[in-house]
Amino acid sequence: MVSNRLSKVQKHITKKKGKNAALHENSRDTHRLQSAAARDNKLNRLTAVREKQNHPYLLRIKSFQSYTMEHDAPLTVADIQAMIEDFLGRDDEELATLKAGRRAGRPPTTRETLLKQNQTMEQGEYASGFWVPDLEDLEILQKLKGWDGKWASLATLRFARISKDEKKKDSSFPPKGLS
């Protein structure tokens, strides 16, 4: 991905020097190109890390969006808890097949270990408060149905933390700790 800064510097240098002009190894223009390229690489790397961190939350919201497509009325906390428990059990079949395919006495595969760790983490989050859209509000339910799948457009939704013991607590976007 070529960013705006690098393309601007390249355009300026070719405009000044010409299309076929060679740059000296230690010239100012070479340093400008190198620093612009380094900055773009850093920004691309940070963007990739941020997208990787946000990916599980996007998958969570997409699954709740698909769960709520048939609902027209606001949901109760018990309905939301049923959706959460359905979401938490999404990898149970894959775990069972991985465990059944393993010979007796063999250690679990990496995939099986990762799935178990993910389930344990999500179960712990559910015990303290699972981060979901606030589906008790009709307006938020309609916005979730029309959500385009982008992280930035989640800022228009309101979120809550729903715990196992049916406690609901308002939360913030993006999710931070137990907010």
**CATH number of the structural domain spanning residue 81:** 1.20.1440.170
Write the Ramachandran bin of 91: left for phi over 0, alpha for psi from -120 to 50, otherwise beta.
Answer: alpha
What total of structural domains would you count in the chain?
Answer: 1
Domain assignment present for residue 142? The answer is yes
Using one digit for the tens of pLDDT, what is the confidence trace for 118-176?
Answer: 999 999 999 988 999 998 989 999 999 999 989 988 888 999 999 998 888 888 887 87
Q: Which has the higher per-residue pLDDT, 74 or 4?
A: 74
Domain assignment present for residue 135? The answer is yes
Instruction: Enter the pTM of the model.
Output: 0.75
Q: How many CB atoms lie within 10 A of CB 87?
A: 17
pLDDT band at 13, cuts 50/70/90? confident
Domain assignment present for residue 28? The answer is yes
pLDDT band at 30, cuts 50/70/90? confident
Q: Could you give the strand order of the β-sheet that contains 168-171, starting from the edge strand earlier in sequence?
A: 130-133, 159-162, 168-171
Domain coverage including residue 166: 4-171
Can you point out the beta strands (E) in the chain? 130-133, 159-162, 168-171
Q: What is the pLDDT of residue 179?
A: 58
pLDDT at 10 over 80: no
Domain assignment present for residue 178? The answer is no
Domain assignment present for residue 179? The answer is no
pLDDT at 1 over 60: no
Q: What is the pLDDT of residue 9?
A: 83
Distance between CA atoms of residues 74 and 79, nearest Å: 10
Q: What is the pLDDT of residue 178?
A: 61
Domain assignment present for residue 85? The answer is yes
The strand pairing partners of 162, in sequence order, are 130, 168
Domain assignment present for residue 75? The answer is yes
Domain assignment present for residue 176? The answer is no
Q: Which has the higher per-residue pLDDT, 30 or 164?
A: 164
Lowest mean pLDDT among 7-11, 50-54, 90-94: 7-11
